[in-house]
Structure 1
């Protein structure tokens, strides 16, 4: 199939859908400036989504899956470990390559829970959303890893007993920010403060939202299991261990198969009394249900043996979303609770002064709650241990009440999206806070004076780029942490350079002072000041498209640094380095959104121009289409759908020395089929073949061919290498943390490979030389693929 472009193509623009974050310098444990939360215009044609969870999920479910089970990732990680073991045995130089952490250390990322060490002064543990467990010895100024790199990195909860036994609940219970893709495999316990860990149960819980430890008997530990977002049943509800975590039993079953527990709280003065919050939620391929009849609050007066639903003064209809509940430690009869609607906006705030016997709605409004349309993203309340009227409400902004929740005001000086608070019982007035921007501390009881951690290397990156002139210069886009610039070298601080959620960020190949940065849905800029102001806007109004992907592709033409490409559902080209744009294609997708309330299908996800011929382009879309053109868009040729998987095309890349050799990578799982994850064309796009056999069955997010005949891929479960035409795959290094690799960037001259991980920051590795790999193409296909090539690889200085 081919499409001939009518040169007088008439396109439609869309209004800018995104407000950018205020630029902010994150200083070393000094008071930061407040950050404004990015928001979407309600009239945007891309749908109401305000968080990238639909984007992450849509890719991985584009194979027709109805759920993303932990079992799939467990299987894929097992396959990755088998490849690593084989690499260590057969290709030791490859396995022994070392990934070096480049940064950033000062940006941080989403912190979902906090545990204060009751015995060791200034020691605190945190759970990073997709970055494992971390420990601070200096009251949160700096952090060090307290979790194995090769374990699941997705976290939901952390707690510690008075004797220092630490519990970690894996799997993030907030269905947003991408981490819904990465469920957990249950509960782990550490008896040596995070040095070693033991799995102790609830492997099928998918996500653990909270722990509660009985202060009168610390062998009694409760866990709130929120369950698999994508499928009903399995392990969900409130579980109890009476032997310090060795075994668990269900004590509060969910009202229905799609309900899970998100809170469990114990009365410290009467541990027989406890409370729980349940949430009815289910994510289907084209629909999300974030509330329902199962959403409810419960109380037990016999230590969790039996439970009663609290209803007096509380709503009993089905329009209930996620609940948050907390009690006042110095007056446990005082309870606070809030709930969202099933569609997401804040609904109401409640207070009880008699231990939950009756409840009264307070005057708190949606504006005071500051939860936008996604109250399910937060779900937490915190009460000052010494003052029952002093309450904190999580939301986009941190909200504080000093009158027992009759009114709330905003607390400034912290990043957006609040998730966890803890008071340090050893230091009066000290409070810790975790949000999407990392970790903060206040010595003023949370009212003011928030200072940010100086070392927290668990940032969730979407993309990374390096300067061709100097690979030490790097930029990247981070989830809810903007576009960032790392121009100060290894381990140096990074600077935020605009954007809301940072997506595609790229550096001019010849002038590293020219930087382009993009927020969600293609709201991009051009800067001649290394990303700093002044900035020229790129996107709606400058380019032509009706729909734009969350991560809209923006790329240089490697044959001419003044030529650039940008695409929504239409390819746009610039010949003056991004100043002006012209459409060069019709709509290359299958049409608009298939569900107005779901992900906006029908966008281009990747573009690649041939380094040896600027007229040759390859394009991939979110609805599984591949295209190529030999005449700079005069005629577009669609690859026969029968040749390709039909799943989300994550990346296309062209061989550095042959325009007819190109690669395409795909998201999704095989699900029992022979669906490809990596494909190659040797004839300019006309025919494609699968070369990904032997890779783990997991989404492949990035692909890079090298000039000397190697092929590098980044997946949800690791980085792998083969010869240019595939075959046998080897693990590239074995010390990279098991966070998803979202993007690879290879610097040919230095052989530096840089990876953007979703939860553990940016890493570098020197790609070894493989003498058996040929620079003369095409190679003779012996049927042995990379065998022989990999064996010849050796470490490089």
Structure 2
């Protein structure tokens, strides 16, 4: 059962919390009966999740019903699909019962606004992004959904529906990007998704990222393909598989567009746009080389290209990187339906051109914008999806309204020892967050009851178990703060003061990951551990730090280089050979476990004086996994559990292990875990 509340939505979460997701807690209000009379599955089925906050954040797809000023839809980066029928004031989640939460594209059939197509898996690429499981269709405005295939396509950048036939649909499928695969390119269905034709396939390293249909001639299509590869230690955009293709027969055959003014060098991510006011006008936002370490570079070729003769000839009209700063994460543009010279660019900063892309001015619907929809019947009506949520304008962008949304992406969750306890986490594209697990005010937990506790958008916020007034909070680039509730002040207590931003991991003294581990000893709350490639420890509130271990990673320098491909990208999330998990046994002081994001597991039984690499004792563990969690047992000192994540090596299978002898031997606990593209 769903309920709507002003400005936010309260609703049931149907799946357990993942690495990224909004904070929810289990409610005992509906549980009755003696615990001894129920099984574990009965217990959890009787405990529904309730949303407690905070508000946030990343919206990856937006659309609306043409001519209807009240109806909008949006897709969240990891929060499903929402619908508003009152101009964006209230939002209802309509996708919670499906198996996927990451949305890449939404399209409403122009000839039947009850038919909605959703492509899953985000195509705006960074290290912490979720994949999808194909395409869904609703024929009742999103009340119910049917999975329509393409399950292994990973990420869908665009869905285009035929203007007069809601059963004819084109999908730009990017792939999961973690390795070679055939399920990528441009797909077409003529029968409502019952069958799909793979109409454009470039190669197993390149996928479809965008597609547009000539609004005045449905036989003509333009598609963009993107050669892209990512792993734990890097992202590489660009190659011969990137390009622009044109079809003149509704996708039966395709011609690659080359020369005639288009870039001559290697291309990366490409965004396309057209306007119904002119079939001759096509825009292409193209990532070209700015990294001579990746490909030969004599001169930067530009950013925005335009054709005024239906794709026959092209000219570079703007070389300003502002139009596609960090192209892997952006590269989208939208043309006004009533003016082919009015172009909007979705990037770190939102910008608009009124002269065909030659000059731009900046607007402010929100930072880090990704998708935009302009009503073709009421062009002053717009909606933009960005990293702060979404913004709506009814006056052609002169002013914007931003509703608050319950789609916060939280990296980790911790609780303190107060009654009622408070919940802590770091919210992507926002601040650290602390909020109550319950409220005496009634009517739910208000937005104002959440506050920041130092740190920033990434990593951990860990309250002191003995003194919950103290919170240790992380951030990118090794930034660490110690927050005091009494003074309401956060103090920087970084292990090392140097700013790591923009530097490859191999050139740093200490390699701190985007979400580096923070752990407070269960035996001495003044003893706090954090992880780079070493374990660092403080016993004086962060005034000084001691290195407690040698390098506990592979320290493979080939995995510590600057990455990005054609465009060097921020390095923090791709730092490899770093510690990702630290945990001390709650039973035996000095038993400390570590796990790295290059697959190493170490244990010390003497408080860090010596360390043993127990990685080889784990059966059937592939190399280069990220040891994402280690949980020492609270019942036996030598027992610990750990999980290893290999999805960025193209392996979605779960790896869960248990040891009962301090790591000398391990058994796999993964056999009964269901397998899927998400597993």
TM over 0.5: yes
- Residue in structure 1 matched with residue 391 of structure 2 by the alignment: 440
Q: How does 1:541-560 map to 2 (within 5 A)?
A: 541=497, 546-560=510-524
- Residue in structure 1 matched with residue 669 of structure 2 by the alignment: 692
Q: How does 1:645-660 map to 2 (within 5 A)?
A: 645=621, 647-656=625-634, 658-660=636-638
1:267 aligns with 2:214: yes
Q: Which moved more, 1:309-318 or 1:132-141?
A: 309-318
1:571 aligns with 2:545: no
> Over the residues paired in the alignment, what is the CA RMSD in angstroms?
3.5
SS of residue matched to 1:107: coil
Q: Is the 8 A contact 2:459 2:517 kept in 1?
A: no
User: Pick from 497, 502, 509: which aligns with 2:458?
Assistant: 502
- Residue in structure 1 matched with residue 15 of structure 2 by the alignment: none
Q: Structure 2: how far apart are the matches of 1:258 and 1:564? A: 44
Q: Structure 2: how far apart are the matches of 1:229 and 1:632? A: 41
Q: Which moved more, 1:111-120 or 1:374-383?
A: 111-120
**How far is the alpha carbon of 1:310 from its aligned partner?**
3.1
Deviations 1:398-431 (A, max 9, x none): 122223211223323513x221001235655221
Q: Is the 8 A contact 2:338 2:376 kept in 1?
A: no
> TM-score scaled by structure 1?
0.69
**How far is the alpha carbon of 1:353 from its aligned partner?**
2.2
Q: Structure 2: how far apart are the matches of 1:294 and 1:638? A: 41
User: Pick from 140, 151, 155: which aligns with 1:207?
Assistant: 155
**How far is the alpha carbon of 1:679 from its aligned partner?**
1.4
Deviations 1:26-74 (A, max 9, x none): xx979xxxxxxxxxxxxxxxxxxxxxxxxx99xxxxxxxxxxxxxxxxx
User: Pick from 112, 118, 121: which aligns with 1:168?
Assistant: 118
Q: Is the 8 A contact 2:453 2:490 kept in 1?
A: no
**How far is the alpha carbon of 1:323 from its aligned partner?**
0.9
**How far is the alpha carbon of 1:672 from its aligned partner?**
11
- Residue in structure 2 matched with residue 528 of structure 1 by the alignment: 484
SS of residue matched to 1:594: helix
Q: Is the 8 A contact 1:382 1:421 kept in 2?
A: yes
Q: Is the 8 A contact 1:293 1:318 kept in 2?
A: no
Deviations 1:419-468 (A, max 9, x none): 1001235655221111222222123312x4233222x2222221011111
Deviations 1:578-628 (A, max 9, x none): 333222222222325332246433222222223344433222223333333
Q: Structure 1: how far apart are the matches of 2:117 and 2:269? A: 24
- Residue in structure 1 matched with residue 381 of structure 2 by the alignment: 430
User: Pick from 666, 674, 691: which aligns with 2:644?
Assistant: 666
SS of residue matched to 2:318: coil
1:479 aligns with 2:458: no
Q: Is the 8 A contact 1:254 1:278 kept in 2?
A: no
Unaligned 5+ runs, structure 1: 1-27, 31-55, 58-87, 700-714, 718-797
- Residue in structure 1 matched with residue 242 of structure 2 by the alignment: 295
Return closer, same or farther for 1:269/1:532 CA change in 2, 3 Å cut-off.
Answer: farther
- Residue in structure 1 matched with residue 11 of structure 2 by the alignment: none
Return closer, same or farther for 1:312/1:549 CA change in 2, 3 Å cut-off.
Answer: closer
Q: Structure 2: how far apart are the matches of 1:658 and 1:89? A: 26
SS of residue matched to 2:558: coil
**How far is the alpha carbon of 1:309 from its aligned partner?**
3.1
**How far is the alpha carbon of 1:165 from its aligned partner?**
0.3
**How far is the alpha carbon of 1:530 from its aligned partner?**
7.9
Q: Is the 8 A contact 2:137 2:146 kept in 1?
A: yes
Q: Is the 8 A contact 2:72 2:83 kept in 1?
A: yes
Return closer, same or farther for 1:147/1:528 CA change in 2, 3 Å cut-off.
Answer: same
1:349 aligns with 2:327: no
SS of residue matched to 1:376: coil
Q: How does 1:32-111 map to 2 (within 5 A)?
A: 91-109=40-58, 111=59
Q: Structure 2: how far apart are the matches of 1:674 and 1:167? A: 29
Q: Which moved more, 1:326-335 or 1:493-502?
A: 493-502
Unaligned 5+ runs, structure 2: 1-5, 9-18, 21-36, 292-299, 439-443, 500-507, 564-573
Q: Structure 1: how far apart are the matches of 2:313 and 2:56? A: 44
Q: Structure 2: how far apart are the matches of 1:486 and 1:127? A: 26
> TM-score scaled by structure 2?
0.80
**How far is the alpha carbon of 1:570 from its aligned partner?**
1.7
Q: How does 1:778-789 map to 2 (within 5 A)?
A: none
Return closer, same or farther for 1:693/1:206 CA change in 2, 3 Å cut-off.
Answer: closer
**How far is the alpha carbon of 1:175 from its aligned partner?**
3.2
Q: Is the 8 A contact 2:523 2:589 kept in 1?
A: yes
Q: How does 1:120-199 map to 2 (within 5 A)?
A: 121-162=69-110, 163=112, 164-179=114-129, 182-199=130-147
Q: Is the 8 A contact 2:381 2:394 kept in 1?
A: yes
Q: How does 1:593-672 map to 2 (within 5 A)?
A: 593-595=557-559, 596-597=561-562, 599-639=574-614, 641-643=616-618, 645=621, 647-656=625-634, 658-668=636-646
Q: How does 1:4-15 map to 2 (within 5 A)?
A: none
- Residue in structure 2 matched with residue 326 of structure 1 by the alignment: 273
Q: Is the 8 A contact 2:420 2:437 kept in 1?
A: no
**How far is the alpha carbon of 1:392 from its aligned partner?**
1.2
- Residue in structure 2 matched with residue 377 of structure 1 by the alignment: 329
- Residue in structure 2 matched with residue 245 of structure 1 by the alignment: 193
For CA contacts below 8 A with separation 6 or more, give which structure has more relative contact order.
1
Deviations 1:519-547 (A, max 9, x none): 12431212224896443242323999622
Return closer, same or farther for 1:221/1:623 CA change in 2, 3 Å cut-off.
Answer: closer
**How far is the alpha carbon of 1:95 from its aligned partner?**
4.5
SS of residue matched to 2:557: coil
